[in-house]
Structure 1
Amino acid sequence: MDPAPLATQIIEAYDGMPAQLQTAAKYVLDRPGDVALLSMREQARQAGVPPATMTRLAKRLGLDGYDAVRELYAQAIRNGRLSFAGRAGAQVASQKAKGEKALATDIVARLNSHIERLGEPGTLDRLTDAAALLASARRVYCLGLRSSHTVAWHMAYVLSLLGEKAVLLDSTAGMGMDPIRSATAKDALFAVSVEPYTRATVEVAHYAHRQGIPIVAVTDSAVSPLAQVARSSILVSTDSPSFFHAMTPVFAVGEILAALVAGRGGDASLKALRQTEDQLNAFNIHWSPQDGRRF
């Protein structure tokens, strides 16, 4: 595996660093993409250290200043080295140096931080606006591929409990996108994708936009290809100490929206849920304590 720039040097020097330098070093190790893209002051703010600490870290690593660190990481992005493989190298080195419990603790803390942001006023406004759009739609076409598939599937599943509102755009037999041709401006597309964005999801979203179909996007940037065509966008953070991006915040948005849409259905939702329960009971779908007596 090709580690991120300076990963080996940081791990080797980490134990001998003062506490503030360790904090800055951990930021660089865990968030290589941000090192290339964000200003030094913004990185220092996110790491919780003074900007001067970032400069001290660069010099500790044998560089003239922090701009040299950023350039190394920017070059790595341009060369494609900060892909999953590059981040994996950084994680493996970090995990070996600090231990698995420390890594797990870091992941939990990062996930908690991401989910807490969903409760910020601006995000809550976007969530309720998106729920209103989905609730008013005749049909909700749900699309998420690869790691985003479970979010779209869960949205479609929950809405299916409320009647015939949801249409899951899946890729079975290569025909999964076909139902979108029946969508109109009275419907909505619920589209989910985070970087690296799945090409098919982006293409379907752009098709829907050209057809005048309102789009609710769950994505990770205001400039993502989904956000650019969406009527309503919910932005989530997906960075993680792991080399995989964090999908838990994305899934949480899906659950929140599904709950809000269901609640907006009022008596109609309650009636549909009663019908669903009757059918599930008729087919004996769920395990009950009586089943345990058979074992």
Structure 2
Amino acid sequence: MAGAAARLHKLFEGHRLTPTQRRIAHCMVRRADDAPFLSSVELAELAGVSQPSVTRFAVALGFDGYPALRRHLREAPGDGGAEADADATANAYQQAALAEIENLRLLAAQLADPAPVAEAARVLAASRPLPVLGLRAASAQARGFAYFAAKVHPDVRLLDEGGTMLADRIDAAARAGAAALLCFALPRHPREVLDALAQARALGLRVVMVADSAFAPVARPEDLLLPAAVGTGLVFDTACAPMLLGRVLLEAMCDELPQAQARLEEFDARAAERGLFLP
């Protein structure tokens, strides 16, 4: 992630933004290099919102108005030093790897406060069953999480396919007693995810979301949102940080599940009996 985008993410962290404000923030991150020079009218047009919404967004961030926000962005220190020079000489593949390293650094800084992950883990560990949603690009993250979570949680239900059956499966999970739903939300965000989450919320499920940013278009203010940036330097996005955040969330869930260690030991014993893995 470029330094300008990283600074914007840091600026937006910790603020409870409305869906409209998250849309503005997401637009600014995508246009990070241009953001300090955009007028409020230009930013409103790019984000597809009204000009007063941009003003309210700046105030929500703690500024007197949009001019103060723009002045803050212009005065922010630029990138420099040997690391920036090294990045400039790297080839496209190296730059993609370096961008993912930066994403992981941002995630490490975010995890300095473990409270959001701990809260999400408590919510998910208590849900019986636990539906795990991830469609299209996010299906791999959901499947990986569900695979490992099933070793310590008694009832994990993977929702990695859309279509007419998705609504039935969410409804079935709620009827079976689910209290929460974990969603991996990555670009490009399928409309089906938005619809599925709306249904889950209407059924009373608490949504925990691992998303590519704090401004994911499928998120709502009441969700427990855990952001982890994706890499965009290659033809297809890379998702090292969301994958790691999913594993961190699993680690925290194990602390909330009293039988987690016993279940793992039981699985290992059965795997050994069956010769499941190579020695």
- Shorter chain as denominator, the TM-score bin is 0.5 to 0.7
Q: 1:262 to 1:147 in 2, by over 3 A?
A: same
Q: 1:284 to 1:223 in 2, by over 3 A?
A: same
Query: Are the counterparts in 2 of residues 107 and 242 from structure 1 also a CA contact under 8 Å?
Result: no
Pick aligned residue for 1:276 from 249, 267, 271 = 267
Which residue does 1:260 correspond to in 2?
A: 252
Alignment of 1:110 with 2:102, yes or no, is yes
Cα distance in 2 for partners of 1:280, 1:138 equals: 25
Which residue does 1:213 correspond to in 2?
A: 205
* Structure 2 unmatched ranges of 5 or more: 5-27, 38-71, 81-86
Q: 1:219 to 1:175 in 2, by over 3 A?
A: same
Alignment of 1:235 with 2:211, yes or no, is no
After TM superposition, list the pairs within 5 Å mapping 1:1-295 onto structure 2: 33-35=30-32, 38-40=35-37, 42=73, 45=76, 47-48=78-79, 99-100=91-92, 102-104=94-96, 106-121=98-113, 124-171=114-161, 175=165, 178-184=168-174, 186-228=178-220, 230-266=222-258, 268-288=259-279
What is the SS of the residue equivalent to 1:216?
strand
Among all aligned residue pairs of Structure 1 and Structure 2, give the percentage whose two residues are the same amino acid. Answer: 17
Aligned pair count reads 213
Which residue does 1:66 correspond to in 2?
A: none
Query: Are the counterparts in 2 of residues 215 and 229 from structure 1 also a CA contact under 8 Å?
Result: no
Cα distance in 1 for partners of 2:188, 2:181 equals: 20
Cα distance in 2 for partners of 1:177, 1:115 equals: 32
Q: 1:274 to 1:107 in 2, by over 3 A?
A: same
Query: Are the counterparts in 1 of residues 125 and 153 from structure 2 also a CA contact under 8 Å?
Result: no
Q: 1:240 to 1:223 in 2, by over 3 A?
A: closer
The code of the aligned residue for 1:140 comes to: L
Query: Normalization by structure 1: what TM-score?
Result: 0.61
Q: Which has the higher contact order (CA 8 A, sep 6+)?
A: 2
How far did residue 143 of structure 1 move? 0.7
Kindly provide the CA deviation profile for residues 7-57 of structure 1, in whole angstroms up to 9, marking residues without a partner as x.
xxxxxxxxxxxxxxxx99xxxxxx9922477334537737437xxxxxxxx
Cα distance in 2 for partners of 1:251, 1:35 equals: 25
How far did residue 176 of structure 1 move? 5.0
Query: Normalization by structure 2: what TM-score?
Result: 0.64
Cα distance in 2 for partners of 1:213, 1:282 equals: 39
How far did residue 142 of structure 1 move? 0.4
Cα distance in 1 for partners of 2:190, 2:199 equals: 15
How far did residue 116 of structure 1 move? 2.3
Query: Are the counterparts in 2 of residues 142 and 167 from structure 1 also a CA contact under 8 Å?
Result: yes
* Structure 1 unmatched ranges of 5 or more: 1-22, 25-30, 50-93, 289-295
Kindly provide the CA deviation profile for residues 140-189 of structure 1, in whole angstroms up to 9, marking residues without a partner as x.
10011222112211221112112532110132886455321123364211
